[in-house]
A and B are shown apart, each in its own frame.
Chain A
Amino acid sequence: MNRRKLLSLLGMSPVLLTGTSVQAQHTEKKAPVSKNSSQGKLTAVNPKGTPPSIQLIPMAPRLDGLDAKTVYLVDTGFHGSDTLLHQVEAWFARNMPQVTIVFRRKAGPYSEDDPKLWKEIKEKGNAVIMAVGH
């Protein structure tokens, strides 16, 4: 396809091929000139919305140690989380075999709750390692 036809298809004028400059027919508007150029002080309003108050949540008591304890590894579903947590599992097997490890994939997308899993962990587990934010 020649350039003239291509320009035409693009909705452009073939005059662009002539190499001559085309005088723009602009009528420029003049910017308004302020009569008062002094910089007085202004009062401007805060654009922020209203955040909810935050209820501080005391953290759960920690364990004395992990010996003979059950630690749940919870995969949030982000890409690579499962690979990372399976290696955490391998790390425990190699370095702390006295810890029981249970791997679980949280149900649904990352932002969805999984009360069934939380119930299971509360009944059978002692601690949780959760991963991962990408």
Chain B
Amino acid sequence: MGLPTAPMVTIAFKDLALTNAAKRGMPHQRICFTPHPVWGKTDAQMYAYLEGNDPVSGKPLMKEVIDALTKPLTAEESLSGTSTPPVGAPTFIDTSDNLQQYYLDNGMTDFMPIILPTQEKVDAMLKGTSHHPDEVVGKMTPAQGAFPPWSYTVKQCAVNAVMAGATPDYFPTILANASTGISALFSSTNSLVSAAIINGPVRDKLTMNYGIGAMGPFSQPNATIGRAWTLMSKNLDGGGIAGETYMGSQGNIINYNNLIVPENEKDSPWTPFHVQKGFKPEESVVSFFFGFCVTQGQGGKGLGMKPVPHFHEAMSANCAPFASLFGALFLCDPLVANGLGDLGFKTKEQIGDWLQKNTTVTVKDVKTMLFSGLPRGPEAANLTDDMVIPKWPKPDAFNFVVVGGQTNPYHQLGNLSYRLSVSIDKWA
């Protein structure tokens, strides 16, 4: 705009604000800090903030604001030109123990030991793809719109794949993940979850676990493909720095290696997820989800006391507390999927339609819920508080993936939305 501006930021976001301003070319931006939080404060409490001091400078806050707009610029504040942020030397030479410590101290790990990415191991990883090591795979940012994206090559992805403990045959799947530019550590004050659904022949080729314990720590490809995604989300885009490029208030344990779900296609009565998205059954595909949380689906209305468990009623009851900002991803054991089939839900679309119609909420409740919205358009004018409406306006908010080893008819569910699906074969 070319006008003097005073940004006001709460103290909890100091590092993020200063770093982001620098990354956007204004390393000396005059940011004025208020105490934290401002959410939920009264007018009187807010006014007291303004009458108090800036917690960073220790000077009266409103004087800082006025000065930010009126104090003449320094030479540094008037600088133009370009600069390139340093990312360190191309290689590091030291003992194994010292290198482990170096990678840890420099925020390049998930704070667990890594496989050191020696040139030999990186070269071996690169044999897992036909793509040139210098080919640019994509661009990634810790948060769209907030941080400028970084780019990365096949080789840079290979380094992270080695660190995660992956083997070269996993590398095409890891590259497919990277090609989307989706960070598994999206920076929001919400501690978000990322999920990757894997379909097609790659699951058996890599001996991925889609049976007993599929989503637990019981399979090298499941574990390390997910861990590589987290490491790439830290290293390829400068993300995952708590307080700076990651702001999730509590963090999320799933972020260690994310929710990697190979679909149990052979025991599922339904169409595989990637085929729903237009791919052929013989193609290997990874599909991405993103959102608030994952929770166990045991219990719920209709599950326990009937001769034939009413899985659909349990699923509806279990997703009812979710925020409608994101959808509902159901991870169904084959026993659940087949049980739903016995109840007449022969396709994923049929159970999605039922859930959309029957998972309801009152207008009054929607008004008091965070991250949930009322319908828009002409019908919005006729809504009254006691009206019961579908929680999600369209059936496509509900997605279903079959996974598990049939030891008990359970489902897990995530308050997650579908983002996109990409080919793994393309990266072989």
Report A's interface with B, CB cutoff 8 A. 9-11, 39-66, 71, 78-81, 83-84, 86-88, 90-91, 95-96, 110-112, 118, 121-122, 125-134
Contact = CB atoms under 8 A, between A and B. Distances in A.
A58 B74 CA distance: 10
Contacts, number: 251
Contacts of B278: none
A43 B92 CA distance: 6
B40 A80 contact: yes
B156 A48 contact: yes
B277 interface: no
B152 interface: yes
Given A53-B82, A83-B41, 9 more contacts: A39-B97, A41-B95, A43-B93, A51-B148, A51-B150, A83-B46, A130-B5, A131-B9, A132-B10
B80 A56 contact: yes
Interface in B1-30: 1-10, 12-13, 16-17, 22-30
A105 B337 CA distance: 47
Contacts of B69: 62-63, 66, 71, 127, 129
Contact of A134 (B29, B116, B189): B189
Interface in B145-172: 145-146, 148-153, 155-156, 159-160, 163
A66 B77 CA distance: 20
B47 A56 contact: no
Given A55-B82, A64-B70, A87 B43 contact: yes
25 contacts: A47-B159, A50-B150, A51-B85, A52-B148, A53-B82, A54-B24, A56-B79, A56-B83, A58-B79, A59-B77, A62-B73, A80-B40, A80-B46, A84-B46, A88-B50, A126-B4, A129-B6, A132-B8, A132-B38, A133-B12, A133-B17, A134-B12, A134-B37, A134-B38, A134-B39
A65 B70 contact: yes
Given A51-B150, A57-B80, A134-B12, A129 B65 contact: yes
A90 B236 CA distance: 45
B154 to A, nearest CB: 12
B6 A128 contact: yes
A122 B4 CA distance: 11
Interface in B173-213: 189
B222 interface: no
Given A44-B116, A47-B156, A59-B28, A129 B5 contact: yes
Interface stretch (B117-125, B372-380, B391-399): B117-125
Contacts of A121: 1, 3
Contacts of A118: 1
